Amino acid sequence: MAKLYVNPNVKKGHINPELQGHFSEHLGRCIYEGIFVGENSDIPNVNGMRTDVVEALKEIQVPVLRWPGGCFADEYHWMDGIGPKEKRKKMINTHWGGVVEDNSFGTHEFMELCRQLGCKTYINGNVGSGTVQEMSEWVEYMTFQGVSPMADLRKANGHEEPWNIDYFGVGNENWGCGGNMRPEYYGDLYRRYQTYVRNYDSKKQINKIACGANADDYHWTEKVLETTFDHGNGYMNGMSLHYYTLPTGDWNKKGSALDFDEKSWYRTLKATLKMKELIQRHGAIMDQYDPEKKIGMMIDEWGTWYDVEPGTNPGFLYQQNTMRDALVAGINLNLFNKNCDRVKMANIAQVVNVLQAVILTEGEKMVKTPTWHTFNLYKYHQDGELVESSVETREVGLEEKYMIPDLTESVSLGKDGRLHVTLTNASLTDKADIEAIFAETPVKSVKAEILTGDMKAHNTFEAPEQVHTGEFTAVSVSGNKVTFTAPACSVLHLEVEI
């Protein structure tokens, strides 16, 4: 019997809802078709946003959405995407699939989408190929209330009131697709560009995010912080980190999303657990400069990256999603919770039809992926207080190099006054008998839900309900102890009344 120790009296930090954030890029069928179909589409929509997708995203309480990229952001010129649609520039999306980008989804449409979702806005600015003036004017266009050239232009384009920018990214992957820069050079550019990301309304702070490292490039983190550090209070509210989970670790041969074996299962989950080390080591560097943890680690791209589905445009990054992805999501969301003192936002890549998507669409059809179901189980953590917990684990796997702990967990005290336990069992063969002990806290009742299935189980447009959550009743309560069995290959949420 594995013991799960929970001490509700020891609070470890606030869980920002933004830890369950999402990312939307002008890539493949993410924005166009996946979200935006236009007002004249036969697909039911409100102001062009497809209703089925918006409803599904509202159900998981999407807290924040990042846009317009990704690599696309450092080639995006925002003025191309405002004003009458018939006059907007058409161009080739050189990064992604070489398709025509007609700019029919621009700033106004993104803000309308966030309004419908009721989520915070995260705009990623262009440092790689854009000017300081362009960035500064975009911020003015979106947020300035009074009389100014850009505020007047916004009003002329039909939006009288300014919008909120909750987060603003000063460039994306500037070590790569965003300009192939050295960290010292980017650090200097960051100092300059961020100066003109003005907070026009002192009551609505724009949180500025610097481009952080790719995976384990600790040199980047060190040098960017060293270059920018003495730059004054509020110069940086967050620093990003990108880490994708590849089953093979090889970008040229990533492996299939659907056709994989048990070894690949464990290799993938081993790869995803590297996130723990990345948070610790980048966090340790950040601690040197920012011991009070005022600068958030923003993991604004994470998730699985497989070979594209056979027969699809390689530049569209469309992949299916199985129970393996559900486990990847559960393991990472537990890690983010456990490090909520430093990790302040995380955005899975990407929200619809791209990489580890929570939703897939095909024409008018839509399915919720196993990853969507994991987010649905974890949403109760949003805005909760992390409480101390630990679980006894066993090493599981098939190859010495790719052994992993069977269980991960995190526990929060929710806004509803209940304790929320989320737990993953990554073993493909063994259930885990668990005794949860709540220190000095008698338990009144427990309600639980489970997501489980074959490792390759997934939802298709023909069979959209193959994988879904179900009620989990095999839980017994005695005093301050709760016992249950987590089946192999499962994600669980326990709502504990105390």
* 83 residue type, one letter: G
- Residue 71 found at the interface with ligand AHR (CB under 6 A): yes
Q: Which of 25, 33, 112, 301 is catalytic?
A: 301
Cβ contacts of 470 within 8 Å, gap of 6 or more: 449, 450, 451
> Is 239 strand, coil or helix?
strand
Cβ contacts of 211 within 8 Å, gap of 6 or more: 127, 169, 170, 171, 172, 173, 174, 175, 178, 186, 190, 224, 239, 240
Give the nearest distance from C-beta 4 to ligand AHR in angstroms: 35
Mark residues 342-371: x for contact with ligand AHR by CB under 6 A, - for none.
Answer: -------xx----x----------------
Mark residues 166-195: x for contact with ligand AHR by CB under 6 A, - for none.
Answer: ------xx----------------------
- Which stretch of DSSP H or E encloses residue 107? helix 107-117
CB-based closest residue to ligand AHR: 70
- Which C-beta is closer to ligand AHR: that of 71 or that of 298? 71
- Which C-beta is closer to ligand AHR: that of 15 or that of 31? 31
Rounded (10°) CA dihedral 279, 282, 284, 285: -170
Footprint on residues 299-328 left by ligand AHR (CB under 6 A): 301
- Residue 75 found at the interface with ligand AHR (CB under 6 A): no
Q: What is the DSSP secondary structure assignment for residue 310, as one 8-state letter?
A: T
CB 260 within 8 A of CB 456: yes
- Residue 206 found at the interface with ligand AHR (CB under 6 A): no
Give the nearest distance from C-beta 173 to ligand AHR in angstroms: 5
For 207-355, where are the E strands, in sequence order? 207-214, 238-245, 296-304, 343-349
- Which C-beta is closer to ligand AHR: that of 14 or that of 274? 274
Does the annotation mark 173 as catalytic? yes
Q: Which of 75, 173, 222, 462 is catalytic?
A: 173
Return the closest-CA partner of residue 304 out of 264, 344, 363, 263.
264
CB 147 within 8 A of CB 183: no
Q: How many residues bind ligand AHR (CB under 6 A)?
A: 10
Kindly state the tokens that stand for 372.
């969507």
Find the part of the chain contacting ligand AHR (CB under 6 A) among 43-51, 69-77, 135-143, 404-412. Answer: 69-77
- Which C-beta is closer to ligand AHR: that of 34 or that of 397? 34
Active site residues: 173, 301
Instruction: Provide the binding-site residues for ligand AHR, judged by CB under 6 A.
Output: 25, 69-71, 172-173, 301, 349-350, 355
